[in-house]
């Protein structure tokens, strides 16, 4: 049964700094990131493309942008007086929400990590053809006198998510790690490797760039956006450590007796609430959707479990 919209909760206004440019009548915005590197958004998903004399290189193909990718390329190619032929398509990772319009571009060379190829072979999704060119650690793509450095720095959001660096454009594209001006959605942006996700912004900051192209939410980012995201995550990590050290699980197990899972739930819920609540209060008004408790709570719970299980924080050895 659908909840009536007048019964849905209200949330804090989105900070003006979190908002991107207005969309056109066709539902997209395309703009220049730097020189001949452009980005396109539908306000929720982002993509990018590089115009060269020898062809267009497309970076991700989100299905929500869909055919507007073609329109954006045509618009900018006409304005720049260069070809609109898409010759290459780079996958940031295998997820369908970022690659599910790949099949709209025929006759292109698709490039991705070797694990992306394995996963797309497994998934057998006709909207996401497998990459023709794969790499393990690093790959330099050169088209029309331009250079793009693709690198794999370990698992993070997914086991195959890569860094896309544009050294001649002072830009970095890294998808599903930092949502510029916004908190991660549920479960740390639905990430599979928590330590890798937490460390990915540090690896991003090791590279030289000024403009950040994330995978979501309709605006370009800066190094300051990475720093604010890191502060939000670091606060959650420190709060989790403090809560694990200070909240005694004994009363919850005593309360539920033989129902040990209920005891575990009571304890972990209290630790999560204790760690997340100050973060929600601190970042509401700084990061959009910080006040949507489910987002920070689920992210906090996932980080909490990683601290316990990956790092051994709060482990108790019976005497």
Which pLDDT score, from 0 to 100, does residue 298 have? 96
Does 163 share its domain with 288? no
Distance CA 189, CA 170 (A): 26
Residue 316 · residue 253 · CB < 8 Å: no
Range of the domain at 261: 235-309
Tell if the pTM clears 0.85, that is, is over it.
yes
Which structure tokens are listed for 89?
């398509």
Positive or negative CA dihedral for 129, 93, 54, 147? negative
Say if 314 falls within a structural domain.
Answer: no
46 occurs within a structural domain: yes
CA distance 89 to 53: 16
Residue 256 lies in a domain: yes
Contact at 8 Å (CB) between 56 and 73? yes
256, 109: one domain: no
Question: Per residue in 276-298, pLDDT tens?
Answer: 999 999 999 999 999 999 999 99
- Res. 2: pLDDT tops 80: no
Q: What sign for the dihedral angle of Cα 255, 257, 261, 267?
A: positive
Q: Are residues 36 and 140 in the same domain?
A: yes
Closest CA to 44 of 66, 61, 65: 65
- The model's pLDDT over 234-245, given as tens digits with 9 standing for 90+, comes to 999 999 999 999
Is residue 316 one of the residues assigned to a domain?
no
Decide the pairing of beta strands 171-173 and 211-213: parallel
Together in a domain, 168 and 32: yes
Q: Are 61 and 123 part of one and the same domain?
A: yes
For the stretch 173-219, pLDDT in tens is 999 999 999 999 999 999 999 999 999 999 999 999 999 999 999 99
208 and 288 belong to one structural domain = no
- Binned at pLDDT 50, 70 and 90, residue 1 comes out as low
Tell me if 126 sits within 8 A of 200, measured CB to CB: no
Residue 230 C-alpha from the chain's centroid = 13
Q: What's the average model confidence in pLDDT over 92-113? A: 98
Which of residues 197, 221, 245 is at a domain's end? Answer: 221
Q: Indicate the number of domains in the chain.
A: 2
Give the DSSP per-residue string, 246-299.
H--SHHHHHHHTT-HHHHHHHHHHHHHHHHHHHHHHHHBTTBBTTT-HHHHHHH
Tell me which of 221, 254, 286 is where a domain ends. 221
pLDDT at 311 over 80: yes
Q: Is residue 84 part of a domain?
A: yes
- For residue 261, what pLDDT band results from cuts at 50, 70 and 90? very high
Give a yes or no: residue 239 inside a domain. yes
Q: Is 107 exposed, middle or buried (0-12, 13-18, 19+ CB in 10 A)?
A: exposed
Confidence tier at 87 by pLDDT (50, 70, 90): very high
Which residue in the block uniquely carries the two structure tokens 């509401």? 284
Surface-to-core class of residue 240, CB atoms within 10 Å of its CB (0-12 exposed, 13-18 middle, 19+ buried):
buried
Do both 185 and 248 map to the same domain? no
16 and 163 fall within a common domain: yes
Look up the CATH number of the domain holding residue 95. 3.60.15.10
285 in a structural domain:
yes
Q: What digits encode the pLDDT tens for the residues 12-42?
A: 999 999 999 999 999 999 999 999 999 999 9
Which residues are CB-neighbours of 224 under 8 A, at least 6 positions away? none
Across-strand partners of 164? 150, 173
- pLDDT surpassing 80 at residue 95: yes
């Amino acid at each position: 049964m659908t909840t009536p919209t007048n019964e849905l909760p209200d949330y804090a206004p989105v900070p003006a700094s979190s908002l991107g440019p207005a969309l056109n009548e066709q539902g997209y915005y395309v703009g220049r990131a730097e020189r001949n590197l452009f980005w396109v958004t539908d306000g929720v998903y982002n993509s990018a493309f590089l115009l060269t004399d020898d062809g267009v290189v497309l970076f991700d193909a989100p299905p929500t942008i869909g055919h507007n990718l073609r329109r954006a390329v045509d618009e900018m190619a006409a304005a720049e007086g260069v070809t609109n032929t898409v010759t290459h398509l780079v996958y940031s990772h295998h997820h369908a929400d970022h690659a599910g319009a790949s099949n709209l571009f025929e006759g292109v060379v698709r490039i991705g990590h070797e694990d992306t190829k394995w996963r797309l072979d497994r998934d057998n999704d006709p909207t996401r053809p497998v990459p023709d060119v794969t790499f393990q650690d690093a790959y330099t793509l050169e088209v029309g006198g331009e250079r793009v450095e693709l690198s794999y720095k370990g698992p993070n959001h997914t086991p195959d998510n890569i860094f896309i660096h544009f050294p001649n454009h002072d830009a970095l594209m890294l998808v599903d790690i930092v949502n510029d001006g916004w908190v991660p959605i549920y479960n740390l942006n639905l990430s599979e490797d928590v330590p890798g996700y937490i460390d990915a912004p540090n690896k991003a900051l090791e590279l030289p760039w000024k403009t950040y192209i994330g995978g979501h939410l309709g605006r370009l980012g800066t190094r300051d956006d990475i720093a604010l995201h890191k502060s939000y995550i670091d606060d959650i990590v420190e709060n989790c450590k403090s809560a694990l050290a200070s909240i005694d699980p004994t009363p919850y197990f005593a309360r539920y007796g033989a129902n040990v899972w209920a005891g575990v739930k009571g304890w972990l819920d209290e630790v999560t609430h204790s760690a997340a609540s100050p973060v929600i209060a601190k970042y509401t008004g700084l990061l959009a959707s910080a006040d949507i408790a489910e987002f920070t709570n689920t992210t906090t719970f996932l980080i909490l479990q990683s601290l316990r299980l990956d790092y051994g924080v709060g482990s108790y050895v019976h005497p």
